Every structure is written in structure tokens, then in C-alpha cells.
């Protein structure tokens, strides 16, 4: 045996053909782990988890590395407020496209190559900060660095090849949350690195350029680790799995239509733009805000700004967990209410942050805002898997892209012009969060209801089976392509809340 | 990067009586005695070609100064002219002294005693972290509580005359550029080497 590419084109690097099943963790029929052991590095499952979230986090570090150093960079490059704001918009815009492309890349080359390619090919963009001499260069480089945020997709894709669907919510939420922490880590890391370089004798305008070498090196190190220690599949060949009928070859056009014609997709695109989107925007402006408004030193502002991003460590998984608890008692309606409450609360704390006049109230408001926004991200992706079974990948990708789009838009309106001071911008951003979270009230599942409407009592159309199977037409049902959706619908009975059957067998 | 020539101007200092406010937060710029000090600042380039430029600064107490006995120290600062404050709220001029950000760069300071009425003349070499922009020089006279009581500046009240411009260093270095290129090339090449290597191993495995 020596077929060295899996049928998706993903390499079989590290995959043993020895099928005696010697894994550290219990696995399902597709060799995906059914248990999540956080402090283990055992191959392949937990090792993949750690490689994946750390490389995603590294990309967050480099994308937002400029933010805490803006007070120095703006003097070196003679930037105006508009330039600083536009660079912030640019830093999140690139990945709108790269996240959409990364899905295809993962299908063609596998998540390991997808991740490694992106991380190592974006290292030059990070190093090129040393060449920047004006606003145009700064904006361009931040745009190019921002492409690497597509590692979100490779991270989530990789997790779903390694962990079974029952725990994928927690696994993906933890991986995404810990990855997003990079946006916080960078606010601490970069000012400290800058300070050390300055103390070693470099002038201010050179020191910040040298500081960018650190995220650049992290890219190279993580890329090499992913290539040498990572593997695409836990074991087994994708074609064999397909033969068992569990994975269906579907048509891109159909999946896309299924995704875009479902109105819920677009509501989530908007919602995520005002939970993840505002988190990204805040990562870009918060250090400079504390530096300017409260006359702090650069590394003090960095420490405060870091605690915003670091809250992701528990806030995002907590949001997912809160959604799960709400679902236990109230089903899907509980999840929708949880999302609305958490995200609106985040918006109100953001309003408070802009209005805070003293340092202490500002810090308190910021931390509460971070908890709200990040938990809302977790709660969003606790519902997204139920929007569609057929088009889950594309809807997740669109939602993720919506996050970046929301971030770019918010930074453009509120933080790039002289019309608003930064504190006014924060307040209005909070108002916009509250307003843009209202559409969650419009999300209605016939089988489970919505925030204000009960589920449909129609015996046919009011069932989960009907909802998920209606994504396929008659011809496709004849070919039995819809079996996965039927199984999913049965499992999804847990979203009925207290009325859910106590045991579910498939 | 070369720094442009900057103009020479005289510095005079005048006194201003400070309105008695205990709270530092409410000390206002408009309360300071204007033109209590007379300042001039003259830029000059040192040597030919690339060099670090200097400002020749003089300050002296004006004959019209009234609060001269309160002076304990003179602080001279480099301030942004209005053109350099446009679209840059972090350099904004505010009347409340603790909020004012228009004079962030300290040049030097002296303890003052009445014998120094005739003023001082000195050369200031521009620091390497001064940004590109247009500037003037202002001297503040502070009292024993370190509160400003008077000031004088090398330009007029509208900050339109005797403004000089500074061109900052870029911060770029050839060695940095080279290191940057080297690491970038390493990253791309390492990736390609791994990729090609794995494909080659796969082909070898297949042909076995």
C-alpha cells in the first residue's frame, strides 16, 4: 500500500495503514474522537487541536500586531486619523475573500496544507512592514497580512475531520475562541517586544519595525510544526467513507443556492458582523483609545487592551455553553433568546464604554462588553449548524465572512473620519449592535418556533425532518442523497427543549 | 534622511499672573500670561549632506512680565503648528492644560533665578523620534508647585509666522530590509521544499 494522497488530494502524511485502532482517545466509526481531552497532545486528535488553534492564534497576532503600536507608527509614517482607520478596515477586509477561498483549498489540498500554505506564505507580508514608509504602504501591508485570518476555516474544517459531531460544537468553539485570543495576546506582546528593542538601543521609528519580526517568525515556526507534526486524517481514506454512504458528493451550485435562499443565513451574516465584527474593530482601536484618552503609557494601554481579546479564553466557549443550557430547557427558542440577550447586553456595555470618563469605569465597561460580544459569537455558532444540514460549510463560511464585513463597515463609519471622536464612535457602535441584533427575532424554525412565535402545529411541515429534507428535490431523494439530513433531523430533536425524548437512537 | 533647514527667530519671555485655582484639572492655557517670555528658534543644518539638524533657541524674560518673582523654572517645548494638527486628534490643542497635547516634545528646562532675566541661548539637536511636521517653540514658566504661570512662543498668537518644518527619519535600515527579505524567502522556500519532498516520497512509495 502506498497511496499517498487521500481522495480529496489531502496528503496521507503520518497516517498509519495499521488499522488496529491504537488511538489515545475513544473514536467513532470514522476514527474521529468522541472525547475532548484538553491537556493531551496525543496524536492525532489532540495534537491537531493544538496545532490548529495555535496557528489560527498566530494569524490573529500578526493581523492585529500593528494596533497597539499605532501611537508610534502614526508619527513615523505621518498618518492622519483617516489613514489609521483605513488601515484597520483593510486589515479585516482581505479575509472576507480568503475565508471563502480557503474552503475550496481545504477540499483540494486538505486542511493541513491549507493551514501551512497560508501561514508560511503570509510570513513575507508580515516581514514587509520593515519597508513601509507612508500611509499607502501601511494600508497595503495590513491588507495583505489580513488574508491569513482564513486559517479560521482550515481550523474548523480540520477539527471536523478529527472530532465527532456531538462534541464538535464545544471543540470548534474552544478552538475559535482560543484562536481569537491572539487578538488580545498581541496587544501585550508587541508593546513589550517594542520596549525591549528600544532599550537595546534602537530608535523608536526602527524599533517597531524590528518588533514585527516576532510575529513573522511565529508564522514560520507554526508552518513548519503543522507540516511536520500534523496530519489530515485520523486514519482511513475518504473514498472508503464515501462508499459507506455517509458522505455524499454534492454539487456546489446546489449547496450555494440552498445557503443563499435561506433567509436565516443572511440574518446570521448580519448578527455575526455585530458580535465578531465589533470584536475585531475593537481589537484595532482599543489600545490607541486608552493611550490617547487616559494618557497611559504604551504598554499599560496594551495590557488593558489585551484583556479585551484574552477574555475569549472562556467567554466564547461560555456563550456556546449558555446556549446549550438554554436549549436543554427551552429548546431552540431558548438558544435564540440567549443569543439576543447576550449580544444586546454586549451592545449596551459598548455604549457605556464610550460614555465612560474615568479609567476604572472604562475598563469595567470594556470587560463586560468583551464578555457580551464574545459569548454572542459562541452562541451564534451554537445555532448556525441547525440552519441547514446540506449547506453547513457554506453558511458557516458566509457567516464568518459577515463578521469581517461588519468589522470593516463599522471601522469605516465610526473610526476613520474626523466626524466622531473615538469615544463617540464606541457609543454609536454600541447603539448599532443593539439595533442589528433585533433581527434575531425574525428567525423562525417551523419545527421549533422563534422568540415570540410557538412552533408550527402542522403535522407535516412542522417537523424537523420536513425542514431538513426539503433542501433536497425529488430526484435527489430518489438517489437517497438526503439520508444524512434525515439522521440529522432525528438527532436534532434535542432542540425541542423539555419535550425532547430522553434517548435518541439512530 | 536629510532634515530641511529651519528658520531662526528670537525668543522673549514675559510673565503672566496665574489665576488661583487649586485643582490642576482646571488650569487653563488662556489664563497664562501671554508673551511674558520672548522666544526665538532658528533652525540650522550641521555640515554638508546627511546630518542631524539643530535648533538655535534663545529665551529671555520680557520687560513687560509681571509675575517674574513666581518663576521657579523655565521649560522649553517643541509644539505642533496648526497645519500638523489637522486630522490628528492626538495632537489637539485644548484650553485645559492637562488635556492639551499640542506640545508633547520636551526640549530642555532650567531652574530660574532672577539673575537669569537676560535669558539663555542654546542649541538643541532634534531627537530621532520627532515626527515630520511644522513646529514652533514655546517656553513655559512654572512656579514652585510646577504649575505653568506664563509662557512665550516663537510665533504669533495665530501660529502663522516663523513656523519651521521638520522631516523625520524613516526608521528604515538596509540591514533590516535585507533580513526581512531573507526570512521571507526562507519561509517560501521551506514550504516548497516540504511540499516537493512529500510528493516525491509519495511517488517513491507508489512505485514500490
Residues facing residue B142 across a β-bridge? B73, B148
Q: Where are the domains positioned within chain A?
A: 39-248, 250-505
Q: A127 and B184 in contact by Cβ < 8 A?
A: yes
The answer to whether residues B91 and B169 touch, using CB atoms and an 8 Å cutoff, is no
Residues of chain B with C-beta less than 8 angstroms from the C-beta of A228: 194
Mean pLDDT, chain B, integer: 78
Give domain A39-248's CATH architecture: Up-down Bundle (1.20)
Q: Rounded distance, CA A243 to CA A389, Å?
A: 20
Q: Rounded distance, CA A229 to CA A224, Å?
A: 8
Q: How buried is A248 (Cβ within 10 angstroms: 0-12 exposed, 13-18 middle, 19+ buried)? A: middle
Among B89, B129, B183, beta carbon nearest to A216? B183
DSSP 3-state assignment of A206? helix
Q: Name the minimum distance, in Å, from the CA of B177 to any CA of chain A.
A: 6
Among A80, A131, A208, beta carbon nearest to B88? A80
DSSP 3-state assignment of A337? helix
Among B90, B129, B132, beta carbon nearest to A292? B90
Residue B10: pLDDT band by 50, 70, 90 thresholds?
Answer: very low
The residue of A123, A291, A294, A424 whose CB has the most chain B CBs within 10 angstroms, and thus the best one to mutate to test that interface, is A123
Report CA B122 to chain centroid distance, whole Å. 17
- CATH topology for A250-505? Growth Hormone; Chain: A; (1.20.1250)
Report the share of chain A in percent with pLDDT over 70.
90
Q: Give DSSP secondary structure letters for B179-208.
A: HHHHHHHHHHHHHHHHHHHHHHHHHHHHH-
Q: Name the minimum distance, in Å, from the CA of B135 to any CA of chain A.
A: 14
Q: Which residues, including other chains, have CB under 8 Å from residue A359's CB and lie 6 or more apart?
A: A290, A294, A296
ipTM (interface pTM): 0.80
- Domains A39-248 and A250-505 fall in the same CATH topology: yes
Is B22 an interface residue toward A (CB < 8 Å)? no
Instruction: Give the least confident one: A171-175, A219-223, A363-367, B82-86.
Output: A171-175
Q: B195 and A113 in contact by Cβ < 8 A?
A: yes
CA proximity to A213, closest of A291, A290, A123, A282: A123
* Per-residue pLDDT tens digits for A383-394: 888 888 778 778
Instruction: Give backbone dihedrals phi and psi of A24, rounded to 5 degrees, phi first.
Output: -70, -30
Mean pLDDT, chain A, integer: 85
Q: Where are the beta strands (DSSP E) in A211-365?
A: none
Residues of chain A with C-beta less than 8 angstroms from the C-beta of B198: 4, 11, 13
Residue A34: pLDDT band by 50, 70, 90 thresholds?
Answer: confident
Q: Rounded distance, CA A213 to CA A204, Å?
A: 15
pLDDT for the residue B18: 26
pLDDT for the residue A2: 36
* Per-residue pLDDT tens digits for B81-136: 999 999 999 999 988 888 888 999 998 888 888 887 777 888 888 888 889 999 99
Q: Is the pLDDT of residue B50 over 60?
A: no
Amino acid at each position: 500500500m502506498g497511496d499517498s494522497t487521500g481522495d480529496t488530494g489531502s496528503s496521507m502524511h503520518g497516517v498509519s495503514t495499521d488499522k488496529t485502532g491504537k488511538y489515545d482517545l475513544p473514536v467513532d466509526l470514522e476514527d474521529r474522537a468522541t472525547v475532548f481531552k484538553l491537556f493531551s497532545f496525543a496524536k492525532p486528535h489532540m495534537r491537531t487541536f493544538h496545532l490548529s488553534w495555535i496557528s489560527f492564534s498566530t494569524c490573529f497576532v500578526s493581523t492585529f500586531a500593528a494596533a497597539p503600536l499605532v501611537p508610534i507608527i502614526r508619527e513615523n509614517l505621518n498618518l492622519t486619523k483617516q489613514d489609521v482607520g483605513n488601515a484597520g478596515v483593510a486589515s479585516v477586509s482581505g479575509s472576507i475573500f480568503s475565508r471563502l477561498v480557503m474552503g475550496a483549498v481545504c477540499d483540494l489540498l486538505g486542511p493541513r496544507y491549507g493551514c501551512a500554505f497560508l501561514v508560511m506564505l503570509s510570513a513575507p507580508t508580515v516581514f514587509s512592514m520593515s519597508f513601509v514608509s507612508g500611509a499607502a504602504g501601511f494600508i497595503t501591508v495590513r491588507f495583505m497580512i489580513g488574508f491569513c485570518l482564513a486559517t479560521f476555516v482550515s481550523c474548523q474544517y480540520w477539527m471536523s475531520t478529527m472530532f465527532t459531531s456531538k462534541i464538535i460544537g464545544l471543540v470548534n468553539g474552544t478552538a475559535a475562541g482560543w484562536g481569537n485570543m491572539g487578538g488580545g495576546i498581541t496587544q501585550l506582546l508587541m508593546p513589550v517586544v517594542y520596549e525591549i528593542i528600544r532599550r537595546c538601543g534602537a530608535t523608536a521609528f526602527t524599533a517597531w519595525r524590528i518588533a514585527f519580526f516576532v510575529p513573522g517568525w511565529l508564522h514560520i515556526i507554526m508552518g513548519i510544526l503543522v507540516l511536520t507534526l500534523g496530519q489530515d486524517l485520523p486514519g482511513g481514506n475518504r473514498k472508503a467513507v464515501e462508499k459507506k454512504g455517509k458522505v455524499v458528493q454534492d454539487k456546489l451550485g446546489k449547496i450555494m443556492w440552498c445557503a443563499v435562499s435561506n433567509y436565516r443565513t443572511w440574518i446570521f451574516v448580519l448578527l455575526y458582523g455585530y458580535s465578531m465584527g465589533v470584536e475585531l474593530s475593537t481589537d484595532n482601536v482599543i489600545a490607541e483609545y486608552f493611550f490617547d484618552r487616559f494618557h497611559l503609557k504604551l504598554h499599560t494601554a496594551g495590557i488593558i487592551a489585551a484583556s479585551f481579546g484574552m477574555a475569549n479564553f472562556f467567554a466564547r466557549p461560555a456563550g456556546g455553553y449558555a446556549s446549550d443550557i438554554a436549549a436543554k430547557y427551552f429548546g431552540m427558542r431558548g438558544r435564540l433568546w440567549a443569543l439576543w440577550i447576550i449580544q444586546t447586553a454586549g451592545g449596551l456595555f459598548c455604549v457605556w464604554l464610550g460614555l465612560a470618563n474615568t479609567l476604572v469605569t472604562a475598563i469595567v465597561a470594556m470587560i463586560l462588553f468583551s464578555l457580551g460580544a464574545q459569548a454572542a459569537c459562541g452562541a451564534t455558532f451554537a445555532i448556525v449548524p441547525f440552519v441547514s444540514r446540506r449547506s453547513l460549510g457554506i453558511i458557516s463560511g458566509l457567516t464568518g465572512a459577515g463578521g469581517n464585513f461588519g468589522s470593516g463597515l463599522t471601522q469605516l463609519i465610526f473610526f476613520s473620519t474626523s466626524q466622531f471622536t473615538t469615544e463617540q464612535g464606541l457609543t454609536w457602535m454600541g447603539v448599532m449592535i443593539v439595533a442589528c441584533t433585533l433581527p434575531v427575532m425574525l428567525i423562525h424554525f417551523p419545527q421549533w418556533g422563534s422568540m415570540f412565535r410557538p412552533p408550527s402545529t402542522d403535522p407535516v411541515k412542522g417537523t424537523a425532518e420536513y425542514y431538513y429534507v426539503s433542501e433536497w428535490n425529488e430526484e435527489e431523494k430518489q438517489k437517497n442523497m438526503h439520508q444524512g439530513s434525515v439522521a440529522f433531523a432525528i438527532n436534532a430533536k434535542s432542540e425541542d427543549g423539555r419535550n425532547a425524548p430522553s434517548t435518541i437512537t439512530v | 534622511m536629510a532634515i530641511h533647514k529651519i528658520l531662526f527667530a528670537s525668543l522673549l519671555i514675559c510673565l503672566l499672573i496665574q489665576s488661583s485655582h487649586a485643582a490642576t484639572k482646571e488650569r487653563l492655557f488662556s489664563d497664562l500670561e501671554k508673551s511674558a517670555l520672548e522666544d526665538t528658534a532658528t533652525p540650522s543644518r550641521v555640515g554638508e549632506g546627511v546630518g542631524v539638524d539643530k535648533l538655535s533657541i534663545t529665551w529671555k524674560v520680557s520687560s513687560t512680565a509681571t509675575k517674574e518673582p513666581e518663576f521657579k523654572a523655565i521649560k522649553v517645548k517643541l509644539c505642533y503648528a496648526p497645519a500638523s494638527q489637522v486630522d490628528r486628534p492626538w495632537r489637539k490643542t485644548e484650553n485645559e492644560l492637562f488635556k492639551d497635547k499640542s506640545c508633547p516634545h520636551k526640549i530642555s528646562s532650567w531652574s530660574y533665578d532672577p539673575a537669569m532675566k537676560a535669558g539663555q541661548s542654546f542649541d538643541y539637536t532634534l531627537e530621532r523620534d520627532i515626527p515630520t511636521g511644522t513646529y514652533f517653540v514655546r517656553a513655559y514658566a512654572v512656579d514652585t508647585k510646577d504649575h505653568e504661570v506664563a509662557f512665550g512662543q516663537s510665533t504669533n498668537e495665530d501660529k502663522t509666522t516663523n513656523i519651521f518644518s521638520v522631516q523625520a527619519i524613516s526608521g528604515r535600515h538596509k540591514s533590516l530590509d535585507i533580513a526581512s527579505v531573507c526570512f521571507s524567502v526562507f519561509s517560501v522556500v521551506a514550504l516548497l521544499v516540504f511540499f516537493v519532498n512529500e510528493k516525491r516520497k509519495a511517488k517513491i512509495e507508489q512505485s514500490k
